[in-house]
Amino acid sequence: MSQLIEVKVPDIGDFDAVPVIELFVKVGDTIAVDDAIATLESDKATMDVPSSAAGVVREVLVEVGDKVSEGSLLIKLEAAGAAAASLPPLQGEGRGGDGSKPAADLPHPPPSLPLEGGGAKTAGGIVEVAVPDIGDFSDVPVIELFVKAGDTIKVDDAIATLESDKATMDVPSSAAGVVKEVLVKLGDKVSQGHLLIRVETASAPATPVVEASTYAPLVDGGPAPTASVSPAVAAAVPAAPSAVKLGGTVHASPSVRAYARELGADLAQVKATGPKGRVLKEDVTAFIKGALTTGVVPGKTPAAAAGAGLGGGLDLLPWPKVDFAKFGEIEVKPLSRIKKISGQNLARNWVMIPAVTYHEDADITDLEAFRVQVNKENEKSGKKLTMLAFIIKASVRALQEFPEFNTSLDANGSELSLVYKKYFNIAFAADTPNGLVVPVVKDADRKSVFQIAEETGALAKKARDGKLGPADMSGACFTISSLGGIGGTYFAPIVNAPEVAILGVNKSVMKPVWDGKAFVPRLTLPMSLTADHRVIDGALATRFNVYLAQLLADFRRVML
């Protein structure tokens, strides 16, 4: 076979372990450069991953739900011209699993010749199922067996679980029928092409195939090692034709993990009875039975579960299930993906951050007059200043004056530290038909008000068009949520963790202000500053708000 082209996840900004929510290709598809391969969804954006090469898809290495990072392998392609001419060769006759040594020289000869591509080999109604392509791995231990002689299995049913030093993978059956022989046992080490089971297909006569009475394992392996796996490692193990799922600190096979997900069981809470502390399917079943019997919610302590069910105040009450249709006509519409994801983050931030909001009015009479004058002077050039651009520039100066606002809390084990940032990236909330998104103006301290106005306009347009990428929405130090185009007076914006503060502004309004002699009309901007009280106390937050109002009242102070 010609050299395969590997297509990986490109630069997706600061995001890591992003879930795959949709796949657009399968083995055998012919694709062109820039054709969409998959859709990824972070907590801030949804993005399609384009193909960097053209050809025929030979392997798809991820599944929906897998988490990937920059550099993770997605698919393997064969160039279109080479695809038609290439056929997978069989390994040399009389060789072992790696083709490096005659079978006669092996201490324990394998039951049959290995197949290079794995899969099934037919022998008079008996189908031999071998280890498929598992990438560059060899001598991988068998850590779990799911079948025994006499079992009836279907295509893609899991036969065994293998565990390398980087990943855990289930081996699916390439044939359906009755298992006649299981040719491996726990602890055996196998490679691509090694025989696992013999299956009698439904159409074959029910006659046993005579095999050698003495069968020794291919390699006399010891107990299977365990490994802690990072999300990016999935790229190292091709998933075709088997589905590769990654392990975590809890040791369990992919099929057991899928079973636990279906039942809603937290594997971290399940008592493991398998070898080397592995969680078995029976363990998950026993855990769920126990939860149903005792009434304890899986993953919660009995006290928390009691609080959830009885309103004891130890946990949140369960969400009420109401049949709204009995009260009148209803219409059900699904939430957009953006609202689902942002909702989860907002709920977390609202519950976990002890936030306090401080209000202040900024006199922007002179600033607004200056903005109108400059826009009139630049009418022919098309350049336009917005009030948001001035607020961003003033916020940068305030962050420089009060560096505690340009920080983030960071946990290192049990120790909590404060990270002071030396850069000034300002995010602003943009309203779109699908929900709220938060693009970021990078290095705002190095940009003029004109440049900031131009960049916010371009980012807002990308947001409305649904074309914001991860890099456009990452790295913020401070967020501004402006409702000036809508109205209102004051509100309490929610801090966007890991930031420690957020500024909300409403529509400016004329107010009578006492100048020492008389009341005069002044244009005022309502400002609402929400801060994380763990980092910023009330006095500091008030000083920040007052200072920001002074900057907007006399913008010359920004240059000081």
Q: Which of 194, 251, 359, 533 is catalytic?
A: 533
Could you tell me whether strands 519-532 and 501-505 are parallel, antiparallel, or unpaired per DSSP bridges? Answer: antiparallel
Name residue 165's amino acid: D
Could you tell me whether strands 5-8 and 67-68 are parallel, antiparallel, or unpaired per DSSP bridges? Answer: unpaired
Lowest-pLDDT choice from 85-94, 126-135, 528-537: 85-94
108 a catalytic residue: no
Q: What count of other Cβ atoms lies within 10 Å of the Cβ of residue 396?
A: 25
* Whether 405 contacts 490, CB under 8 Å: no
Map out the domains of the chain with their CATH numbers: 5-85 (2.40.50.100), 338-559 (3.30.559.10)
The CA distance from 77 to 423, in Å, is 41
The CA distance from 504 to 455, in Å, is 20
pTM tops 0.85 = no
Query: Of 19 and 443, which is predicted with more confidence?
Result: 443
Residue holding tokens 């399940």?
A: 270
Residue holding tokens 């809508």?
A: 486
Mean pLDDT of the 156-164 span = 84
Could you tell me whether strands 168-172 and 355-363 are parallel, antiparallel, or unpaired per DSSP bridges? Answer: unpaired
161 bridge partner residues: 144, 170
The CA distance from 42 to 501, in Å, is 22
* Whether 104 contacts 33, CB under 8 Å: no
* Whether 159 contacts 196, CB under 8 Å: yes
Residue holding tokens 């990270």?
A: 419
Q: Is the pLDDT of residue 203 over 80?
A: no
The CA distance from 252 to 274, in Å, is 9
The CA distance from 143 to 413, in Å, is 32
Averaged pLDDT score across all residues of the chain: 79
φ and ψ at residue 162, rounded to 5 degrees: -110, 150
Q: Is the pLDDT of residue 55 over 60?
A: yes
The CA distance from 147 to 133, in Å, is 21
What is the structure's pLDDT at 109?
A: 39
Q: Is the pLDDT of residue 192 over 80?
A: yes
Q: Is the pLDDT of residue 143 over 80?
A: yes
φ and ψ at residue 182, rounded to 5 degrees: -110, 115
Model confidence pLDDT, tens digit, residues 104-129: 343 343 443 334 444 555 544 788 99
Residue 533 burial class via C-beta count within 10 angstroms: exposed 0-12, middle 13-18, buried 19 and up: middle
* Whether 313 contacts 291, CB under 8 Å: no
Residue holding tokens 């149903």?
A: 292
Name residue 256's amino acid: V
Q: Is the pLDDT of residue 148 over 80?
A: yes
Structure tokens at 317: 């009450």
Q: Is the pLDDT of residue 244 over 50?
A: no
* Whether 37 contacts 49, CB under 8 Å: yes
Lowest-pLDDT choice from 154-163, 217-226, 463-472: 217-226
Q: Is the pLDDT of residue 257 over 50?
A: yes
Torsion, CA 406, CA 409, CA 410, CA 416, rounded to 10: 130
Residue holding tokens 């999300």?
A: 231
* Whether 362 contacts 527, CB under 8 Å: yes
